[in-house]
Structure 1
Amino acid sequence: MEIGPGRNIAIKVPLHKWAETVAFYRDNVGLKVTRELEASIGFEFGAMTLWIDRVERQSQVDVWLELFADDPDRALDSLASPRRDELEPLDGVKGHWTSDPAGVVLLLRRP
């Protein structure tokens, strides 16, 4: 079984820092906006998409990463990481939310 990087990185940003953070990546860094949603903006980040997500009830910034595995259930067992599926709905995605020992949230899903 192989586990590898996905195509998405998300920075979960508190409401009071969201607009400033989006402006930083768009204007200062110069990243191209690829998608705009109600509470999220996606930027081209090499072969990946960097999402800046606005989180209403959050006081600190979190970085969330995506990992691909053909069998997310087996991969979760292999990583010996906690299942954290309560974090966000997966909406048709075959996979699980988990985290690494430092607390970085990982979306472990099929490609």
Structure 2
Amino acid sequence: MEAGKNIAIKVPLHRWEDTVAFYRDKVGLPVARELENSTGFEFGSLTLWIDRVPHQSQVDIWIEVFDDDPDAALSRLGSPKRNELEPLTDVTGHWTSDPAGTVILLRKEQMA
């Protein structure tokens, strides 16, 4: 397993604009990509996504981990499969979580 390329901060609707402005204007991170409900910032070799989640009441941090065999990796971790969290479109892998509840996208890296 190895670290992925994305970290997401899931932010409640009422905190999203201020959080995006904080990372853009105060921290000074360059915007890498903007979507309707997400802004991605250059964060070293990673992309830090600030995701707007209307039905959420608190902030969550979600990370990405790569493995060539996500099914076997999930078994080795002994972590729960949490694929109900978000659809995985065009991704080979699973949502899971660590013992503290941090959400992990455990997936096979797609080669460009």
Please classify the TM superposition score into its range, dividing by the shorter chain length.
over 0.9
Cα deviations across residues 15-49 of structure 1 (Å, max 9, x unaligned)?
00000000000000000001000000000000000
Q: CA deviation at 1:54?
A: 0.0
Deviation of the 1:4 alpha carbon? 0.9
Q: 2:105: which partner in 1?
A: 107
Residue 95 of structure 1: aligned partner: 93
Following TM superposition, the consecutive aligned residue runs of length 4 or more in structure 1 with deviations greater than 4 angstroms are: none
1:36 aligns with: 34
Residues of 1 paired with 2:11 and 2:80: CA distance?
23
- Tell me the C-alpha RMSD between the 2 structures: 0.3
Q: Deviation of residue 96 (structure 1)?
A: 0.1
Q: Which runs of 5+ in 2 are unaligned?
A: none
Deviation at 1:90, TM superposition (A): 0.6
1:8 aligns with 2:10: no
User: Counterpart in 1 of 2:23?
Assistant: 25
Identity %: 70
In structure 2, what is the Cα distance between the partners aligned to 1:34 and 1:52?
12
Matched, 1:80 2:78: yes
The alignment covers a number of residue pairs equal to 109
The residue identity in structure 2 corresponding to 1:19 is E
Secondary structure at 2:100's aligned position in 1?
Answer: coil
Distance 2:56 2:72 in 1: 31
Distance across 2 between alignment mates of 1:17 and 1:64:
17
Deviations 1:26-80 (A, max 9, x none): 0000000010000000000000000000001000000000000000000000000
Determine the C-alpha separation between the residues in 2 that align with 1:90 and 1:31. Answer: 27
Length-normalised TM-score, structure 1: 0.98
SS in 2 for 1:21: helix
CA–CA separation in structure 2 for the residues paired with 1:90 and 1:57: 19
Tell me the SS of whatever aligns to 2:90. Answer: coil
Paired residue secondary structure (1:17): helix
